[in-house]
Structure 1
Amino acid sequence: MPKLLPSIVSVIEIYYQYATEEGECNSLNRAELKELLENEFRQILKNPDDPDTVDIIMQSLDRDHNKKVDFTEYLVMIFKLAQACNKIISKDYRQTSGSKQRHHSYQHQEEQSETEEEEKGQESSSSHSSWSTGEENDSYSRDSRSIKHKTGSSSRRLGYQGAMAKMDLAQVNVLVTVNMALALALALALALALALALALALALALVSILTLSNMGLAHVCHLALNNMILDLVNILAMSNVDK
């Protein structure tokens, strides 16, 4: 028989039982909420006879501030009470489940120890039975080990030769790569030296051009100064003649 559905129906019926006491059936006023709390939750209320208890609960539930508690706000109260009760009840369930787990682990350890003892007994019996046949197969096992040793040594020699051949090929590849890198570096160095020589020649040519141009400019300035001095002397001479 289901238990959850009748509990839900009981929550709804209790709401309407107290909501219909004063005519309206869609909400709980302060008096109806007080009666509901005193009758249904008196055992868990901290101060059930204190009038402020109803006012505090009404303020926490009345979200639309109409001084009434509708069905949704009533469900919020039920939800909060369920959370509070879950904190207490869950501790008991955790303790019960923990004891069950410990008991189960203890049984498992006992079963495992019994299984290990049975396996040890079987191993001891099989070892006694195989002791007699082991002496007969010693010679055969020695021969087989010698054959395996010979084949293993030959395979190791072949593997060593193959590894050496691979190492030689790798060394040749490395040497070729290094030589190519050195040749490329040498070519780059020669190209850089030629570029530096060309730049030096261009710089020397530019210096020569600038030196020659400066010398020509100085000569022109000197001639112009001499001409100005001669003109001044002529002007002074002509002025003395007039006097």
Structure 2
Amino acid sequence: MRFHSSIFEQYDDLTRNLIYRQAAINVLGERLRPYRDVVAPMDMWKFCKGSMSIFHRHFHFQRANVRSSLAQKVGEFMESQFHRDGSPDDLTGALGSFNFYAAPADVKIIYLDYFSREAVISSIDVYVKDSYDFTDGAGSVSQYLGHWGAKGVIIVPYNGLVQQLNMPSLYVPYPVARGDVRVKGNIYYPVHNKDFRAWAIKHQRGGDFMIFSDRKRCQLRTPIRIKL
């Protein structure tokens, strides 16, 4: 399995740079301020009793976008052409574009004096959250989900580009062929959010949902310190 190097670069950027930005520190401070009087060291995951939705809702403080920009999508397409004959890799097929999120893991509150506290975050948890929804903005091109056929899914960059540029007048909703068009399975048809919604309404099946990956504990070389 081959993944585009930008995925690893953005994970590193999140854990080495983005979590130390002042805006992220400010958000983290707000997340931890209600616990400023807790004496014992805290494992925030255990504090949430193993609930990923609670953990994410109350404690995530920074994120890194993966494959969300047009440049990243074009790069992924080019890689698929060279290495997988146009087919998306496993990660793209499962998630497409997604976000890495960071949340505090090991937290200790230090009493500086009677009024002042300092939170020391020595490790963070990093995970992926992705929402599978099939809704489109008003007046926008319906999100392109690829060209689907009996033999799998392929990506046609023109369709993705039209969606990114949000130019309905340029959209060409035609199937494409790979190889002999007379051979069963060589025709691939464009599928968009609106197609899935129409199928779901017709068959009364399917819907939007949210997924989380496992958490990866990351020990920080430089602990984050926040005055509370």
TM-score over 0.5 for the pair? no
TM-score, with length taken from structure 2: 0.21
Which of the pair is proportionally richer in helix? 1
